[in-house]
Amino acid sequence: MARILLVEDEDKVSSFIKKGLNEHQYTVDVARDGVAGLTEVLQQTYDLIILDVMLPLISGIDLCKQIRQKQAQVPILMLSALGTIDDKVNGLHAGADDYLIKPFHFNELLARIEALLRRRNLNETSNHLLTFSDLNLDTWDKTAERAGKKITLTAKEYVLLELFMRNPNKLLSREYITEKVWGLHFDTGTNMVDVYVNYLRNKIQKGFDKKLINTVIGMGYILREQ
């Protein structure tokens, strides 16, 4: 199921939402202020983000704007006790996809989330071609090419490349890659990630001057033009 970031400073509200969503098989990370929320967005990939408007350190409106600069496609649901038309307009202009007024019934929140995720999935289906620089990946037939040259990938190499191309210019830690590609939530104690990244590099970079997958020493890997 989808992974959701909830940015909410009221413990009772965040506990209520997290408990309900967990019961519906959603994975929920909670941040209690705007700075913590932004940190999570920069470090993780989420299917949907829920933001409270009134947050410490960075307001929900400003945080929404910053998220939109980093992740243009992620659905954002804004929560607020402020229910005037102007409040809603401000939230939507900041980049929110939907605006829910507190207090709300959990079933309404759940329905809004499901609608946003359905819309996101439809958009992803229509955008099955991923492009970065001169590298192209077709997620329908699982094929890749660079500058017109076809690249043959193994199943794991394909999943790894898709992960990079869905997170361009974003640092991915080895732990995060292990979780997303192999489904493991612990340190394997091996150099498995490094080995597969090198396999992938050899296939997409050999014969090209421009390197795309870059190492950030001690932290992980990033897909960016060098």
What is the number of residues in the chain? 226
- Residue where a domain terminates, one of 111, 126, 141: 126
- Residue where a domain terminates, one of 110, 126, 142: 126
Do 146 and 187 fall within a single domain?
yes
Query: In terms of residue numbers, what domain contains 204?
Result: 129-223
Do 105 and 80 fall within a single domain?
yes
Do 213 and 103 fall within a single domain?
no
CATH of the domain at 85: 3.40.50.2300
- What pLDDT does 186 receive? 64
- Residue where a domain terminates, one of 104, 126, 148: 126
Beta carbons of 101 and 80 less than 8 angstroms apart: yes
3-state secondary structure of 145: strand
Do 134 and 174 fall within a single domain?
yes
The residues of the chain scoring below 50 in pLDDT are: none
Greatest distance between any 2 Cα atoms in the chain: 59
CATH of the domain at 147: 1.10.10.10
Beta carbons of 7 and 49 less than 8 angstroms apart: yes
Do 140 and 115 fall within a single domain?
no
Q: Which residue spans within the chain are E strands per DSSP? A: 3-7, 27-31, 48-52, 76-80, 98-101, 129-132, 135-138, 143-146, 149-151, 213-216, 220-223
**75 preceded by a cis bond (ω within 30 of 0):** no
Write the CB contacts of 15 (distance below 8 Å, at least 6 apart in sequence): none
Do 101 and 11 fall within a single domain?
yes
Domain count along the chain: 2
Do 118 and 134 fall within a single domain?
no
Do 161 and 134 fall within a single domain?
yes
- What pLDDT does 188 receive? 67
Do 122 and 196 fall within a single domain?
no
Do 96 and 169 fall within a single domain?
no
3-state secondary structure of 140: coil
Do 69 and 21 fall within a single domain?
yes
* CA separation for the pair 13, 120 (Å, rounded): 25
Do 86 and 156 fall within a single domain?
no
